[in-house]
Amino acid sequence: MEVTRKQDLLAAVLIGTLATAGFGLALPAAAANLDGQVLGGGAPIANASVTLWQAGSGTPRPLAQARSGADGRFAVAAPGAPLAEGSLYLVARGGTPAAGKGGGDNPAISLLTVLGAKAPAKVTINEMTTIASVWTHNQFIDGEAIKGQPLQLKIAAGNVPSFVDLQTGGWGGTIQDPLNSGQTPTMANFATLASVLAGCVTRVRPEACETVFLAAQGPRGGVPTDTLRAAHAIAQAPWYQPERVFKALEALYPVPQGKTMRAVPYMPYLQVAPSAWVLPLKFDGGGYRAGGKAMFDAEGNLWVGNNFTVGWQASDALWQGNATKFDPNGKPLSPITTGFTGGGMQGRHLRRSHRPEGQRLAGQLRQQVHHRVRQGRQAADATRRHQLRRAPRPDAGHHHRA
């Protein structure tokens, strides 16, 4: 009991000290330790300011702050239980990168890691987590603030691990699986973007940050002032003159004389400029086979009516596919080979069965799915109306470049 009283007194003193110091942090009632490391170009960033934020439908709230040590490591208190709504994210600003060639603090560093509703015990903040977090949260980011409706933030955060491992800052599972690593250019697009950001973070050349910011400038003008804003500017207009970012890669990491490859911190990198800086991913499973019509329900799940069943010889003579359901992060939720079956669903997709014995079950499934789809459409309409109110008019002083 005496130990407990001393611990309570120490906690009270610490909270009072933070309050009088003007931090204004909303400390969680039941906190858990969150250990992390800030990296730039694969090496520690010392003395970076790290803030843990809670995002929601309103202004994000700061929950904890820390500074990274010489090894880039930091520790903050995070909510112990998953958030009922919203998402947690970390922003690291400034600091001295060990891989830096310019020396001293780099105020242009701003790196992001979105954690989701529950923080892991260990986390990394680097260029890879920044690219993954920005591209999944593109429409919800404003500077360093993230704001959106609960379901929107849940879906966005749920897709971050598809690209990056939150604990290590390395590749996530989906992007390096057989469907994506060898069948799409996504890994090369992703790593190229991360290396370009790292060029500014570590200042591989004296003018590195200026090179990155000018390459990231969007069609409406305005030059970014840090690496997070640069990444967001590219994500907002991935189609706009994509060769500029690729030329930045060439300028920051020229092929050394007598060598054949660029000394980039992240591989693979692109050999030629892409048509756009997009990060597509492929998904399969759950009985998916020659999908027909697709619908999203109110929880963001994707429902697909399959024309055929996995393993069958596809033929117009027999259309006997079932229904597949995917989670918003692409994970199949229906049985691996057959999909959802029964109730006259075979070959009917999400329509009523023509067989009397299957009408009731198929009809119930159809009503449930269509009800969720209707809710999803209503939520999407509300989001579009909100975005239209926020969007600037084309004639509001913005000049578009050809």
Helix/strand/coil (H/E/C) assignment for every residue in 82-141: CCCCCEEEEEEECCEECCCCCCCCCCCCEEEEEEECCCCCEEEECHHHHHHHHHHCHHHE
User: 107, 133, 125, 109: which is closest to 42 by C-alpha?
Assistant: 125
pLDDT at residue 372, as a whole number: 54
pLDDT at residue 102, as a whole number: 73
CA-CA distance, 114 to 124, in Å (whole number)? 10
> Is 336 or 320 the better-scoring residue by pLDDT?
336
Q: What average pLDDT does this structure show over 350-367?
A: 41
pLDDT at residue 185, as a whole number: 95
Q: Is the pLDDT of residue 166 over 50?
A: yes
pLDDT at residue 2, as a whole number: 41
CA-CA distance, 300 to 316, in Å (whole number)? 32
CA-CA distance, 244 to 273, in Å (whole number)? 8
> CA angle 370-371-373, nearest 5°?
60
- Residue % of the chain over a pLDDT of 90: 69
Q: Compute, in degrees rounded to 10, the torsion defined by CA atoms 137, 384, 304, 156.
A: 10
pLDDT at residue 318, as a whole number: 75
135-149, 296-310, 362-376: least confidently modelled range = 362-376
pLDDT tier for residue 101 given thresholds of 50, 70 and 90: confident
Q: Are 387 and 139 in contact (CB under 8 A)?
A: yes
Q: Are 44 and 68 in contact (CB under 8 A)?
A: yes
Q: Is the pLDDT of residue 134 over 80?
A: yes
- Residue % of the chain over a pLDDT of 70: 78
The count of other CB atoms within 10 Å of the CB of residue 104 is 9
Q: What is the pTM of this model?
A: 0.81
pLDDT tier for residue 398 given thresholds of 50, 70 and 90: very low
Q: Compute, in degrees rounded to 10, the torsion defined by CA atoms 45, 51, 53, 32.
A: 90
Q: Is the pLDDT of residue 20 over 50?
A: no
CA 165 to chain centre: 11
CA-CA distance, 226 to 231, in Å (whole number)? 9
pLDDT tier for residue 173 given thresholds of 50, 70 and 90: very high
Q: What average pLDDT does this structure show over 115-129?
A: 97
**How far is residue 220 from each of residues 261, 263, 302, measured CA to CA in Å?**
35, 33, 34
Q: What average pLDDT does this structure show over 374-402?
A: 52
pLDDT at residue 103, as a whole number: 77
pLDDT tens track for 38-76: 999 999 999 999 999 999 999 999 999 999 999 999 999
CA-CA distance, 318 to 119, in Å (whole number)? 49
Q: Is the pLDDT of residue 366 over 90?
A: no
pLDDT tier for residue 12 given thresholds of 50, 70 and 90: very low
- Which pair of structure tokens corresponds to residue 184? 């799409």
pLDDT tier for residue 388 given thresholds of 50, 70 and 90: low
pLDDT at residue 43, as a whole number: 98
Q: Is the pLDDT of residue 127 over 60?
A: yes
5-14, 114-123, 134-143, 188-197: least confidently modelled range = 5-14
pLDDT tens track for 202-233: 999 999 999 999 999 999 989 999 999 999 99
- Which pair of structure tokens corresponds to residue 194? 């991360």
